């Protein structure tokens, strides 16, 4: 898949968010609001799995020094204006839930494969992941 296709998919996701953000929720009933909230919850659970994929690749293919930092925590903390503790949590999650490669380059399942699958399906939250880890 080309970078253009990846960026087009992300643009579609952002456009969908913008469309949703403009939706008038005031006319929805309580059961309908709960249905919407359920979908948002699932999506919120799923999105970190994309971070895991990307961080796994970055860590395999480059170094923090090449990105202008001393550590991976510093890379994330500086780039996204988050605490080093939050950066560390994201890196740990990616280490346990992201795809891996063997020394010969063959794809390997995440360390916590069932947990990674549950998160990708939107069945568990980051809090669940912390407890499981």
32-82 pLDDT tens trace: 999 999 999 999 999 999 999 999 999 999 999 999 999 999 999 999 999
pTM listed for this prediction: 0.87
Q: Residue 21, exposed/middle/buried by CB under 10 A (0-12, 13-18, 19+)?
A: exposed
Helix, strand, or coil here: 101? strand
Q: How far is CA 3 from the centre of its chain?
A: 18
Residue 1 is classified by DSSP as -
How does pLDDT run across 4-42, given as a tens digit for each residue?
Answer: 999 999 999 999 999 999 999 999 999 999 999 999 999
Nearest residue to 50 via CA among 114, 122, 123, 130: 122
Assign 105 a pLDDT band (cuts: 50, 70, 90). Answer: confident
Q: What is the DSSP string of 27-72?
A: T--HHHHHHHHHHHHHHHHHTHHHHHHHHHHHHHH--TGGGTSSSH
């Amino acid at each position: 898949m080309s970078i253009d296709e990846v960026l087009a998919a992300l643009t579609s996701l952002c456009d969908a968010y913008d469309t949703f953000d403009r939706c008038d929720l005031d006319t929805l009933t309580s059961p309908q609001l709960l249905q919407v909230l359920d979908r948002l919850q699932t999506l919120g659970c799923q999105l970190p799995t994309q971070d895991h994929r990307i961080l796994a690749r970055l860590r395999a293919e480059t170094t923090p020094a090449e990105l202008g930092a001393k550590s991976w925590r510093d890379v994330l903390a500086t780039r996204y204006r988050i605490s080093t503790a939050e950066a560390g949590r994201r890196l740990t999650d990616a280490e346990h839930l992201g795809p891996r490669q063997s020394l010969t380059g063959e794809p390997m399942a995440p360390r916590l494969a069932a947990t990674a699958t549950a998160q990708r399906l939107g069945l568990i939250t980051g809090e669940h992941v912390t407890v499981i880890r």
